[in-house]
Structure 1
Amino acid sequence: MLSKTIKYFARHSLSTNVSSHARILEGFREAIGNTPLIRLSKLSQETGCNILVKAEYLNPGGSIKDRAAFFLIKEALDKNLIKTGATIVEGTAGNTGIGLAHICNALGFKCVIFMPDNQSKEKIDILRVLGAEVTTVPVVPITDPNTYNHHARRYAEQRENAVWTNQFDNRANRHGHYCTTGPEIWTQTNGKVNAFVMSTGTGGTLAGTSMYLKEKNSKIRTVLADPPGSVLYNYIKSGKLDRTDGSSITEGIGQGRITQNLQDAPIDESLFINDQATVNMVFKLLCEEGFFVGASSGLNVAAAVELSKSMPKGSTIVTTLCDNGQTVRVNEKNEHIFAEYSQWPPFLTDSTFDLTAWRKHCWVNQVSLPTQDPQLYYKKNYTSYPICKDVISLINSIYNMKTNIAKVKYPELFAQKIRKIFNYNNTLYAKALEQVILFTSRENIKPLILLSL
């Protein structure tokens, strides 16, 4: 029997309604913003509230930070701080640097990025492909003069025609969201928005958007969502800069101080969202709503769902999908945490799992994967794995897992191990570019689907 969701897709084609305001956009600059506001169907049905997300990964640089990057550079130009051939310098852990690099390319500027050395290699590689000059520096407390941010400031000060954009404390950041994100949400909801909730790093998006929405309707609830290890949850609650326990797998959100962008922002309340809730929501969005997003977006939506518990039925809650999960990688420090939370089957996460015995069982019984015999084939909470039509498909799927979600640090080496166990060669691996892996766990009966990207 077809589900309601499948029936809905069968009845509805892609929209061909073109807004009367649609036009050809002029270059990278005009492509920033005006992102869709999307209703998450299943979560809205489950919560009884309209859970709406701004699809910020559709900005041309791939994240919400394109907005801030544009306004940071615009301010420098408006104040005549730079001229043709300028150098734009920033301290960033990722997406702001990517946005700046894109805009610098469009304007013929040089982009120089300083970032902490605990960031993933993939982020550094992306920035360098975009033409940015990247320097990594050791992680030190924010008060230390050798933080990546201070390195960026000093670099700009020592050079002609260079500017440090200072995303954390330059209020051009939040002004950009006051001018764009806030008005877009207000217009797209026809003014019928009851709450805005999201996590924050610089404070720009949350502050600027909240300022605009509060001016339009002071009754709109504005809520800060915070991960472990940050001071912002307690600051909003009590005014004290007390860190919550632990650390987080999320990157670029949470904070140890109050930035100038966040200072005096009209934030009503805060929510603490742990990593388990964040990762669960990342998978829920992928498997049930069809959106592949990063951890910060998962945290935002988890916060929206949590907030819905204290909102009247039918309320409209807005948050953001900050970026696309395809650009995210898990660094070495966080890898084991993500793997633990992700509930992957043991042949991906358990080094003691007996792959040889599993292979013999599959071979002798001519089955894809065992559906019984729990003592031999799974540990912890795992039950059965009806995941592929045949073993080759399974191997192909594993081989093609190259995103952080797979938790395979070295996909090629891992694939070699699997090939050796199953006595297969390379020629069989080209078939699985679109394989789907489906597995269940005892504590989470709903299937999780992973597309091999």
Structure 2
Amino acid sequence: MTAASANKDTLIHDNILDAVGNTPLVRLPADFDPEVQCEVLLKLEFGNPGGSLKDRIAIHMIRTAVERGDLIPGGRIVECSSGNTGAGLAMAASALGFDITVVIPDKMSQEKISAIEALGADVVITPANVDIDDPRHYTKVAGQIAKECGGWWPDQYHNTDNTDAHYRTTGPEIWKQCEGRLDAFVAGAGTGGTLTGVAQYMKEVDPSVQIVGVDPPGSILAHWWKHREMCESGPYAVEGAGEEEVPGAWDPDIIDDYFVIEDALSFHTARKLASETGIFAGGSSGMNLAAALKVARKLPASARVVTILPDGGRAYLSKVYSKDWMRDRRFLPPVSQNGATLQDLLRNRERAAVSPEDTLAWAVHQTGERGVRPLPVLQNGELAGVLDEDAAIACMVQGEDLDQLRVADFIQPAPTVLEATSPWSEALSQLQESECVLVRDGKGLVPFSRRDLIRALPRLKHEA
């Protein structure tokens, strides 16, 4: 049984790969956007076992490569990925007995990288801020590694098996779930495989179905579709969509319209979807939905629009679903530097305090595993100092039993304490001479370091 032929009514699968596909199609609540009168349906691709729609292409590309003899038993797969294809390939490689190396840009979330490593892949991190012709670009690095080790490089961006996977599975599933009635299909493109594969199927069964592509700003695809010329690419924050070159898996001629969706709208739409419907999806899902709503606003109540939610929100807890990250990147409104306080710069981070009577083992847990540094020591609610990390480390090096030692013997003077209501510039002044201060807010004491300051300064709006 393959993902393309798996029966949704099958109760027991022979392996994890047979569970890929047949993801649910869910109706967006009618009151989500008051301007939309028609039906909007969401294909929840994070229901795949690897967590994204890329599971489909991973299985199909590997099995087709094996059939062609391009990938031999015991061989190594080498691929460049923004994360989801890497996870899908790593899952399939593990199930089928292949070694795998995944090359991923450093702008991708740590959650994605950790998931790929957990599936047994070797991960190579490359800089995201290099031109596509740079040898350090993740596509170039993947090709070079494959060449050096004799591995198979799927090259998802130019592999038409990518497109074929969606023509064979995603398109037919949507058509069947819609019972042959839909007016528009909306999806972003990175490799272009999803958009093109589904479009090819839809145009075969009903040429009137409108195919709408979605692009983030900085990608060249929407510009190429409209003008058939290259433009300079730029940075964008959404992951898994957009491209710096024209991918071979993408067919611009089959697309009827193209929208460019700003990162901020993509992320706010994803966050709204999660908080108002319980559908917890990633940033590119927000991008697709924002575009689908633009399409739907122009259609009559009898129409039906389908879009793809490529992956889930758990891979973006440190990004799209982090208010700190959203504020640092100015996807939430900045604060005037003239009236900003330290509270405006504080992060949602681990907090803890210990008492002199606590064990050194407990204090080391707070500062080591939870990262609370410096660790406040409170006695009767008052700040007695902070943990002496050097003395604690010395005991650990000597192999002493930390459960038998008390924090009272490992206290050093605390750094400067500032009030959260203080002007932010007070922290700037103090951090010129020290690495960290403590800030007192309504929840207690929280460390604030130079790194915290560097990360938070973009939140401030500089006025003349």
Normalising by structure 1, we get a TM-score of 0.71
Per the TM alignment, residue 292 of structure 1 is displaced from its structure 2 partner at its CA by 1.8
Per the TM alignment, residue 343 of structure 1 is displaced from its structure 2 partner at its CA by 5.8
Matched, 1:166 2:152: no
Matched, 1:79 2:42: no
**Distance in 2 between residues matched to 1:213 and 1:181, nearest whole Å:** 10
> What amino acid sits opposite 1:116 in the alignment?
P
Matched, 1:210 2:210: no
> What pairs with 1:47-446 in structure 2 (closer than 5 Å)?
47-139=36-128, 140-160=130-150, 162-243=151-232, 247-263=235-251, 265-328=253-316, 329-330=318-319, 335=325, 340-342=330-332, 352-353=340-341, 355=343, 413=372, 421-422=441-442
**Distance in 2 between residues matched to 1:284 and 1:277, nearest whole Å:** 10
Change over 3 Å in CA distance of 1:189–1:81 after alignment to 2:
same
Would you say the 8 A contact 1:93–1:115 is kept in 2?
A: yes
SS class of match (2:226): helix
Larger relative helix fraction = 1
Aligned residue pair count: 355
Q: Which runs of 5+ in 1 are unaligned?
A: 1-18, 356-377, 380-394, 401-409, 427-453
Listed one character per residue, the Cα deviations across residues 285-332 of structure 1 (whole Å, up to 9, x for unaligned) are 012111122110000000000111222222111111111111124399
Change over 3 Å in CA distance of 1:58–1:272 after alignment to 2:
same
**Distance in 2 between residues matched to 1:120 and 1:46, nearest whole Å:** 33
**Distance in 2 between residues matched to 1:223 and 1:350, nearest whole Å:** 44
Listed one character per residue, the Cα deviations across residues 189-228 of structure 1 (whole Å, up to 9, x for unaligned) are 0010110011110000000011001101000000101111
Would you say the 8 A contact 2:109–2:315 is kept in 1?
A: no
Which has the higher mean CA deviation after the structures are superposed, 150-159 or 254-263?
150-159
Listed one character per residue, the Cα deviations across residues 383-435 of structure 1 (whole Å, up to 9, x for unaligned) are xxxxxxxxxxxx9x9759xxxxxxxxx98549989995457599xxxxxxxxx
Normalising by structure 2, we get a TM-score of 0.69
| Alignment partner, residue 4 of structure 1 | none
**Distance in 2 between residues matched to 1:350 and 1:399, nearest whole Å:** 28
**Distance in 1 between residues matched to 2:142 and 2:123, nearest whole Å:** 11
> What amino acid sits opposite 1:187 in the alignment?
K
Would you say the 8 A contact 1:249–1:338 is kept in 2?
A: no
Identity of aligned residues (%): 34
Would you say the 8 A contact 2:79–2:102 is kept in 1?
A: yes
Listed one character per residue, the Cα deviations across residues 345-366 of structure 1 (whole Å, up to 9, x for unaligned) are x8xx9994355xxxxxxxxxxx
Which has the higher mean CA deviation after the structures are superposed, 33-42 or 287-296?
287-296
Match of 2:21 among 24, 33, 40: 33
Change over 3 Å in CA distance of 1:74–1:241 after alignment to 2:
same
> What amino acid sits opposite 1:281 in the alignment?
T
SS class of match (2:101): strand
Q: Which runs of 5+ in 2 are unaligned?
A: 1-6, 352-368, 377-436, 447-464
Would you say the 8 A contact 1:279–1:338 is kept in 2?
A: no
Would you say the 8 A contact 1:304–1:319 is kept in 2?
A: yes
SS class of match (2:152): strand
Would you say the 8 A contact 1:211–1:265 is kept in 2?
A: no
> What amino acid sits opposite 2:25 in the alignment?
L
Larger relative strand fraction = 2
Change over 3 Å in CA distance of 1:337–1:208 after alignment to 2:
farther
**Distance in 2 between residues matched to 1:123 and 1:418, nearest whole Å:** 33
